[in-house]
Amino acid sequence: MTAQMTARMIARMIGEIVSARGRMAVAVVLGFGLALGAGCGRDAGSGPSDPLDGGPPPVDGPAGTVDEAIADAAVDMPVGPATDAPTLDTAPDTANEEDLREDRDATSLPDVPFMRPDVAAPAATCGFEAPAFCETFEEGPAPTLGRAGELDPARWSVGRDTTDPAPTVFGVAFGVKPARLGACRPGLSDTVVLPESDVVVCEPTSTIATRHLLSANGSQNYGVLSHRIRQPFDFAGRTGTVKVDVDLTGSPLCGFAAVVISADPTPAPSFNEWEHASGPRNGVEIVFNGDNCHTGGATVSPAMHFFKDYVETVVVPTDNDPATCARTADGALNHVEIYLTQTHLEVWVSDATPDGATFPNLHRLWQGEVALPFSRGYVNLSNHNHATIKYWCGNRNSQTQGKSGSASLIRWDNVGFDGPVVTGWQEASAPGALTRLVGPTFSQGIEGCVTSSGGCEWRPDTISRFPDEGTARCGDPSTMQCRFAGEARDIGYVVPADGQPALAVRIDGVHPAGAKSARLALGAWYPSLSEPGPPTVLGLRYRLNGGPWHDRLISAAEANAFAAAQGAGILNQIIDLDPGELREGANALEVVSLGVKGGYPIGIVNIDLVLGGTP
């Protein structure tokens, strides 16, 4: 590891501790053009086996040749627009995905008056009379596991990423460690899981009255587990509304929830301020990781992260203002409503439900004038794990006993949005690698603590029994720390250098007939700190189905994500493809890296194919 990277990691550790509790009402103006004239205030089956106890055998070995990728890789099912959502009479029913691209050259935004809809609809339709998308999770788990876990892959794309310690340092490609679930359903509660068994549908609990989603993010040190709704969200010429019920307990050093609205189908959006990864190219991430009322975790307030050409602007509510906070309760849901036009955005949040059915005190936590360069995009529910093991989260004295030191555990329910049902799109996903981790970091196990009997216990299980690391006597690496014989998984792929055999990944279930556009959405880790020159010398060389090679270097806009002091980490990237190079059914994507002169290799993850203009 280079001295530059080591210094960077030390700076992160110091900075994140100072920053986590010391945020004030500031705007970090990096080019987003925010007008903060308005203020904040109130307006009236059986689960997977336990990998720590053996578990199913992992898949070993790198991706193979083009033919092998076509013949052998397991893939998600082809997907298309949801057919069970009604189309609003007040909106066009033929909105096409080809109109989805944002107008990046627009010099003015439409003058649309903001109007907060007053709709009281049942949870069965996610709080809308006629939603464009609604998911209540009442249908239970999907019949087969894939990258989307137990979610329906026709409606959801799930992305995972991690920078622990850096995605390709030891030949590892985005290593994800185990996560221990909380209460869920018979055969699954308190189970230790790995990707892709980390996104599960749970039965009602004492605090949640219905089936719901449990997301278990074991990606330590700035990891993201994201759940993107494939159905596009259209708010052109009107006030769009997104609603979701979510457990908002958490902390900036442990785990926390976020809702992202992005112009592109961004695989796993994050942010730079102590998470060290890029957001979407254009969009807004509403991050529920603050406690501006300083109640020790009993309340939450949002931080607003805006992105324009990857340049990030951060705005947090006024410090010590009760109007900017909502009360939380461990294992209970808050109700969140987001209202937006291209020029105005509001975030409303209730206090935690006391009975799993009613949501008291719905009030506005944030409002502001914005300048969104798009009017259609995608909604993403994100679960962030800052560092649950490192910061001894979920310990015996924690106010969030339902949480786990092994992971950020977040429960979601009744997510939906309004607007027209956009048609004319199709998506397909490449599978995650799911290979056993290799290299010095993982070859001898995962974090453990020496027990009183001299054995080695998985560190998160020690965390749950002790208030702090000192009490547990697990702080001295020379005497009390050990490597536990658990398993972890690579979820992505190391990209070979140009001149070496290419990485070959299969994307199945593609129906390109009539498609007017094709885009590849993926997360890419570029070793910008260990390579000389600007980020724009790095890139990917790719081809489809044995066709011509194409070079795709980091663009000038994407280079903005690397300009922040801490670097971009994983870049959420959209690559335009030629639809004519796709074929019906299985498609082979081959990739090599460009510009790497001897440092760490490039890694890619969360590969989605998005077609527009399809019949």
Residue 277: what pLDDT? Answer: 84
Q: CA quadruple 79, 83, 84, 87: dihedral positive or negative?
A: positive
Q: What pLDDT score was predicted for residue 441?
A: 66
78 has a pLDDT exceeding 70: no
Per domain, the residue ranges of the chain are 3-47+117-421
Q: pLDDT for 461-484, tens place per residue? A: 888 888 877 778 786 777 778 888
- The per-residue pLDDT for 240 is 97
Instruction: With a cut of 50, say whether residue 100 has pLDDT above it.
Output: no
> What integer pLDDT is reported at residue 83 of this predicted model?
33
pLDDT band at 372 (very low <50, low <70, confident <90, very high): very high
Q: State whether residue 365 is helix, strand or coil.
A: strand
User: What does the pLDDT read at residue 603?
Assistant: 95
pLDDT reported for residue 396? 58
Residues 130-149, mean pLDDT to the nearest whole number: 96
pLDDT tens digits for 250-274? 888 899 999 999 999 999 999 887 7
Cβ contact 244:259 at 8 Å: yes
Among candidate residues 227, 366, 385, the one with its CA nearest the CA of residue 286: 366
Is the distance from CB of 383 to CB of 257 less than 8 angstroms? yes
Give the pLDDT of residue 398: 55
For tokens 């959502």, the residue is 85
Strand-pair category, 344-349 with 326-327: unpaired
d(CA 94, CA 56): 46
Residue 567: the pLDDT is: 55
Mean pLDDT of 305-310: 96
Q: Please state, in angstroms and rounded to a whole number, the distance separating the CA atoms of residues 438 and 101.
A: 40
Of 62-71, 178-187, 495-504, which gets the smallest average pLDDT? 62-71
pLDDT at residue number 35: 43
For residue 14, the SS3 value is helix
For residue 446 the two structure tokens come to 């995962």
**pLDDT tens-digit readout, 19-36:** 443 433 333 333 344 443
What Å distances lie between residue 220 and 80, 286, 291, CA to CA? Answer: 33, 21, 22
125, pLDDT greater than 50 = yes
pLDDT-derived band at 164, boundaries 50, 70, 90: low
Q: What is the mean pLDDT of residues 410-419?
A: 96
Range with the poorest average pLDDT among 31-35, 174-178, 186-190, 537-541: 31-35
Mean pLDDT of 536-543: 96
- Which position has the higher pLDDT, 177 or 297? 177
Greater model confidence, 457 or 265: 265
Weakest mean pLDDT among 37-41, 160-164, 428-432: 37-41
| pLDDT tens readout for residues 106-124 | 446 787 888 887 766 677 8
Which percentage of the chain shows pLDDT scores above 70? Answer: 78
Question: Taking a C-beta distance cutoff of 8 angstroms, is the pair 99, 106 a contact?
Answer: no
| 274-305 pLDDT, tens digit each | 787 889 999 999 999 987 888 777 899 999 99
**What's the pLDDT score for residue 392?**
86
- CA atoms of 60 and 489, how far apart (whole Å): 10
Beta bridge partners of 594: 539
pLDDT: which is higher, 307 or 438:
307
In this predicted structure, the answer to whether residue 185 has a pLDDT above a threshold of 60 is yes
Quote the pLDDT of residue 555: 96
Mean pLDDT, rounded, for 518-523:
98
4-18, 110-124, 482-496: which is most confident: 482-496
Overall average pLDDT of the 449-470 stretch: 85
Please give the average per-residue pLDDT across 89-109, as a whole number.
46
DSSP of 125-164, one letter per residue? GTT-SS-SEEE--TT-S-SS-BTTBTS-TTTEEEEEE--S
- The total of other beta-carbon atoms located within 10 Å of residue 90's CB is 10
Q: Which of 40-54, 77-91, 208-222, 319-333 has the lowest mean pLDDT?
A: 77-91
The pLDDT-based confidence of 97 (bands split at 50, 70, 90) is low
CATH 2.60.120.200 applies to domain 3-47+117-421? yes
Task: Count CA atoms closer than 13 A to 37's CA, side-chain side.
Answer: 6
Mean pLDDT over each residue of the chain, to the nearest integer: 81
Q: Which residue in 525, 521, 517, 531 sits closest to 614, CA to CA?
A: 517
- Give pLDDT, residue 349: 96
| Section 82-90 average pLDDT | 32
Between 414 and 454, residue with greater pLDDT: 414
More confident residue, 562 or 412: 412
Residue 17 to residue 398: CA distance in whole angstroms = 18
Model confidence at 84, pLDDT cuts 50, 70, 90, reads very low
For residue 402, the model assigns a pLDDT of 45
Single out the residue of 412, 408, 457, 427 nearest to residue 162, CA to CA: 408
Asked whether residue 545 carries a pLDDT value surpassing 90, the answer given is yes
HEC readout, 505-538: EEEEEECCCCCCEEEEEEEEECCCCCCCCCHHHC
User: Is pLDDT above 80 for 53?
Assistant: no
Higher pLDDT, 406 or 438: 406
